[in-house]
Chain A
Amino acid sequence: MTARAAVKKLDLDPEAILVIRNGELVTDDTLLEDADEVKLIAVISGGMGESVPPGGWRRR
């Protein structure tokens, strides 16, 4: 199974996931074997705290 298929099977979004196979970052067409150790890293972060448009001095 490819990394992409594995991520989709878990109902996760491949755009938002990085796949680490045996300690190495791999692309999502990489074939995963039974013996592989696979780690998935979610990349989405951030609530409003960092994302609020900065610097806008609004009129009250």
Chain B
Amino acid sequence: MIDALGDPQSVLLLGGTSEIGVATVRVLAGRRLERVVLAGRASPRLEETAESLRRTGVGDVSTVHLDAERTDEHAAALEPVFAAGDIDVVVMAIGELGDQAAAEVDPRLAVEIAQTTFVGPMSALLHCAAALRTQGHGVIVVLSSVAAVRARRANFVYGSSKAGLDACAQGLAAALEGTGVSVVTVRPGFVRTRMTAGRTEAAFAVEPDDVAAAIRSALRDRPEVVWVPGRLRAVMTVARLLPRRVFRRLPG
């Protein structure tokens, strides 16, 4: 259960090696966390991540093999996770920034990014939503992005995929009203991770720990949308109103 101060006892991290996801688990590990399930493609990194989380004192850390693109396998992968006990928090952290330039040359790569960032996550989210609804409680945290809010030249394949996921999360939040399950959409700006390493930093860049801290307080307050840093809400409200020509000339 998630207690009155927002501390959960179990977390399912979809995208089990995601730096933001793992940072979130670490923040919660010092509190009431007893069970962590890392879902991701079978890889040594997934097992290493599990091992490192065991050292934080969480009693039960396990992994489950889930490939976002293989949506027909999602039910079989996720069902045992919920059968073994309640999941208080689901963190959806699957996504791929990809290579925009390459995708423009070879649209098959664009499809791949959309599969990994939008279609696969939507499938997994719907499976989890049904399970949490049966539990009568829980929070689904969906990692979206500022890139989802207004398409940009530099990364619109990723941005449009995140926009799909963001819209899915909004709709899911509405669908789950009155079921005891909340959906929190998290829209970080530029986060310094493996995924963004080597890229030009945008304004308002943050660390994975900043996103994790924002998620932790969201587990208590359950806002529908969280921007990280919080100032981005105002910035993007203005950005959305700018004429297209002006918006395109903005740096970042």
A and B form one complex: no
Enumerate chain A interface residues (CB-CB to B < 8 A): none
Enumerate chain B interface residues (CB-CB to A < 8 A): none
